[in-house]
Structure 1
């Protein structure tokens, strides 16, 4: 009898890390519906890969096809198509409500179906009008927003039908409930409206009218298309991320038209709706930095992550982490730090990474003795840390480069020590927790064999190629493309060889994975547009300047609170984009270097994912661990506490961002590591091999704070306090369970 056991059967503990997570409101299709959506998603992702690399059918075949666009497309058109494609795919795939798999009922009524068909008429009329305008303009008609005839046609042939269909489709979508395997008619209406918006804007922006936005010469159709587009973006964002970002965007939009009535620094000049919306769907808002990054770097790395997923490389990463760290005390928690940090760096979303790797690591953490809330909190903290881990930083590095103009490589290098401090701190936190609970690691029989895994270390090659290409001077797009191709190539050395079918599947996964982040980036662009067009960011800078006159530390603390508040409930990308628009300019005006200011804001925007009361990553982890969401978020905040200190550390000591001589950088990094060790010891109550009394814990925290500034005197003082605490602990042996007694208390 032939032994058919495959090599990975002996070494695999992780299975399913690369499986696709199914959201509660996502439709699951079969038959022709499945092939339709699968094809749409795959073509959408492949289109981006082709466009970003400047490919064309003509270039690949040598056949001249004049009716097809040649890549790369014009920038604005590319971004408009990028958003429109995501809207169409998103509305068809994600329902406006959550499905109950135990009650797969159809609650639609014939009336709702008929109303949807009625709404399709104005949707098609608006699309037809947009095409008609395109034909007229290509035929030489001069398009002027001041012409009464053109204005009439844009309002009544295009604008009014579009708004009726858009608003009606959104409202009907809330009421129209189909079973999970079927399309909903209102979503088709919204898809047509998305195409109508894109067709009109591509047509008009292809003329000189692009330069007229925000002026009386702008065609009224731009403003109407932008209103419809804004509503469509917000509705899809609500479906894929919930209400948090929608509420924030709604408040900012309300501010546009009410700011003139507000007092103090919130007061803004009056802005008409036509002027505002004629500008918000440009590079001053929706088509600005957030969509620029989502249409290039983010979707490129989503495709890369999808290829890693299709080739089962993610499973290998987790298996390798188990083999390397599983035997140490609290092993699964340390595995989560390594695996979730690595995967979170690539996939760019804390909550999504929690679902992907946490489904494996959280049950194992519970199995070895961690409490439910601690198990979820460790995974949430580790996944959140992936967003600050170079070289990809969950696409944050590329957004920062886009906003600041600082070279990507400088940002990635500057992120090394702060990211190391975060993960070292989390490691200390889980290790000390395991020590307090007397945990042991997993047995050899429960773990993959490191020797066997080492034979497949070539699966790290795509990551190595990516890092090398980025630092060798290749463009981000070329580096990401090479890494994606290498992921397919190395799969041929494994049982999961990528052929045409699995390549198609990878593009399909990428197309679907990209919907959420594209919607979020577009919605964040609305907020960025409000900030730039109302000038509220500049007025916020003045507030920070005023606070800095009292205390620079107070100004930094206020900036930290605003960055966390703005980021609550948002995915990382949107959180940083919004915070960078509001907070970072104010910090720069304080005289803080641009890189330091943006890193400060970026860190706290990222940490909003584990900051109570709205902590997306912690809530996702609680759903897997079965713990209370608020308890999990509080625990994850405690585990990631060092990250709230690190930004102040690199503010006071720029050497932590690689600014200075090698000696200064090395000394700053070493003393910072000692500082986070003291901080972790103080928070967890475990200091150099034994539990510590409350006053020794306080001494450890104080010692850590003294090491923030990075000066020689403060470092020595911090070391002295810690040494005194250690001597007291070893000589006097105070009872760690002795409570803090306040004189006069009962």
Structure 2
């Protein structure tokens, strides 16, 4: 993914990053050739084009749009992602008779699809309602048999990476059948009956099949963590009447629950609303940036700007991962794209493998809290809370600065403590050369400007996407028709994971809303707040991290916002503060042991122990675990208050972050003794807290430490005295 070229043309000499924008092929993804490649490429292009047209030119009914959005992702997903490990070259594949069984499973799947067409014909002819026995035996049972059978077969069938087993075709047909039935019923007067005893039984059959397909695709693209959590929540629906205490509730029937869970109360609710509009639009935007090689330029620009500083590649990682991560939308995905370049270079200048991986994981995670895009988190927050997007993006500025300042000084102090060097002038691109192509930042600038000029998010995202193609025409990587089609294909492929995750999170949100467990959790927090608000916040932090473990940022925040945020609002915390609180902890779950996806991805590249890397990344991202508590005690951090308050809190909190970093790394202007670290930590907390008197105390401590350190260490050679 990266190459160093020492003999480039004058315009391109010492280009460090080459291939950052390449499409990363996940271990579970098929790689087709020939007709299959053309088929799925055409399907991906059609899928992204459908969204662009529907969002900008020809809008369609909301539920119809969201059902097609999820259905398309399921069909593409089962075609492109395997349900079992691939059979490598020379390795024995699964027996052929399994394909025979899969071929038999295709018959009931096709039969269910044909029955939907016949139901449509009947209702078009004036039939008001389909006979329940027909819906059950002619549609529901064949659909469930085919779905369950094909899922189980897909676990057992192992084929080479370029092969498409028949079981996957069965799952694609099942997705089409379930979605077609839901489209038929939700575009009829029967839509109003969902959640009642009068709801057609077929809706429940289609919802059960659709839920199973969503869970299976989520397992393939995001692992088991989210699937297990969703399964626990769904089990709670039917186990609730038997549970004691605040978890108990009267219960829901199978028909009543599943007739509602695939509506805007669940799967088609806020998470899919965001994934079908903002998220997929920004994935397409990111795909256009990749196709025009802007990612390579971002990373090279970061090398030119920060590469020569001590521990240069680590600081490059911070800048590059922040830029790429806010667009990428997934911490682990960003680690894979930028970390494959920065982690080896960090090791080259002296960082241990563990530190290199931890720095990349923490920086990539920070991209999720980086305005203006925040890995799509800002748009989900706007959708859930009703707070304008621009207000959320502005509120995120100071916390993002604090987070990246923390990582920067952690890196800087570690580099000083270990006597590390930066990269030499000959090892990095020339800034003057890269400055000539600064126009490649134009799509990002246009996006931000359009949003703050009052354009809708969809219109601003579309303008930015179009500008990425136009700007490429004056760059070395011009996008012609073939490159644009490639970008559309890449957008369709990249969107599968996040759409599956959002749909799965929708199942959880549906359970929370339909069972009322969120309200009971709110009452629990209210009870804790009666004892101590800090205790209630600490408990909310633990739940947010626990819900987010092993989950991509989008799903982690969506679930935490449904469970935890209402409880925080119930104890008197402002909605913006409450949602930023749970959002931050949902994000940093990616670097929180024991299940830290971003840290595990970084460990895979660095070659170090995964758990050790997650502990190290937790330490580097420590500020992100402290700052959210300050949202409550000092709302000025979220731009709530006068400009004088905001400026004071911003400056003193940044100073506190510097002291916190020095405390963790045991280095300030020189080595820091144990008693100094204790004093530093107290001073850091005083300034991060944000009160006027605590700020003054923190500043006094900081000044005293600076004077003490300068007096004792100014005349010494820092690298020679580097000790831990």
Q: What CA distance in whole angstroms lies between the structure 1 residues aligned with 2:617 and 2:100?
A: 49
Indicate conservation of the 8 Å contact 1:699/1:722, yes or no: no
Equivalent position of 1:249 in the other structure: 230
What is aligned with 2:568?
587
Mapping of residues 19-38 of structure 1, within 5 Å:
19-38=22-41
Segment drifting more, 92-101 vs 406-415: 92-101
Are 1:650 and 2:631 an aligned pair? yes
Kept after mapping to 2: 8 A contact 1:104/1:180: no
Give the TM-score, by structure 1 length. 0.94
Matched, 1:79 2:60: no
Q: Does 1:432 align with 2:413?
A: yes
Change (3 A) 1:419 1:325: same
Match among 650, 655, 663 for residue 674 of structure 1? 655
1:531 equivalent in structure 2: 512
Match status 1:276 vs 2:262: no
1:142 correspondence with 2:123? no
- Residues 194-233 of structure 1: pairs in structure 2 closer than 5 A: 194-233=175-214
> 2:165 and 2:464 mapped to 1: Cα distance?
38
The count of corresponding residues between Structure 1 and Structure 2 is: 713
The CA RMSD measured in Å over matched residues stands at 1.6
1:334-366 per-position Cα deviation (integer Å, ceiling 9, x unaligned) = 111001111000010000000000000000000
Question: Residue deviations 1:274-328, cap 9 Å, x none?
Answer: 1100100000000000000000000000000000000001000000000000000
Distance 2:453 2:712 in 1: 57
What is the CA-CA distance between 1:110 and the residue it aligns to?
Answer: 2.7
Query: CA-to-partner distance for each residue in 1:397-448, whole Å, 9 max, x for gaps?
Result: 0000000000000000000111011001110000101010111110011100
Conservation of the 8 A alpha-carbon contact between 1:11 and 1:453: no
Q: Could you list the per-position Cα deviations for residues 450-509 of structure 1 after superposition, in whole angstroms to 9, with x for gaps in the alignment?
A: 001000000000000000001000010110011001110111112211011010100111
Say if 2:681 is the partner of 1:701.
Answer: yes
Question: Residue deviations 1:184-214, cap 9 Å, x none?
Answer: 1100000000000110000000012121111
Answer whether contact 2:417 2:723 (CA < 8 A) is retained: no
TM-score normalised according to structure 2 size: 0.97
2:42, 2:443 → 1: CA distance? 26
Aligned-pair CA distance for 1:725:
3.8
CA shift for structure 1 position 719: 2.0
Between the aligned partners of 2:316 and 2:100, the Cα distance in structure 1 is 54
The residue that corresponds to 1:60 in the other structure is none
Q: Encode CA deviations 1:369-410: one digit per residue, 9 max, x unaligned.
A: 001011011111111000000000000000000000000000
- The partner residue of 1:41 within 41, 44, 48 is 44
**Cα distance, 1:720 vs structure 2:** 2.4
Shift in alpha-carbon separation, 1:738–1:181, aligned structure 2, 3 A = closer
Match of 2:698 among 715, 718, 725: 718
- 1:109: which partner in 2? 95
The offset of 1:716, in angstroms, is 1.1
Question: For 2:117 and 2:552, how far apart are their aligned partners in 1?
Answer: 36
Question: Is 1:690 paired with 2:677?
Answer: no
Match of 2:54 in 1: 51
**Compared with structure 1, are the counterparts of its residues 112 and 8 closer, same or farther at alpha carbon in structure 2 (3 Å cutoff)?**
farther
**Would you say the 8 A contact 1:212–1:218 is kept in 2?**
yes
Give the equivalent residue in structure 2 for 1:472.
453
| Aligned counterpart, 2:606 | 625
Q: Equivalent residue for 1:508?
A: 489
Aligned to 2:4: none
Deviations 1:679-727 (A, max 9, x none): 111111111x101001111111111112233111111112223334445
Q: Distance in 2 between matches of 1:139 and 1:641?
A: 64
CA drift at 1:157: 0.6
Moved more, 646-655 or 620-629: 646-655
Paired residues of 1:245 and 1:569 also in contact (CA < 8 A): yes
State the partner residue of 1:10. Answer: 13
Inter-partner Cα distance in structure 2 for 1:181 and 1:378: 35
Query: Would you say the 8 A contact 2:367–2:375 is kept in 1?
Result: yes
Structure 2: which 5+ residue stretches go unaligned? 1-6
Residues 128, 401 of structure 1: alpha-carbon distance in 2 compared, 3 angstrom cutoff: same
In 1, Cα distance between equivalents of 2:269 and 2:481: 35
Tell me which of 318, 323, 339 is aligned to 2:299: 318
Q: CA deviation at 1:269?
A: 1.6
Aligned to 1:304: 285
Aligned residue among 323, 342, 346 for 1:342: 323
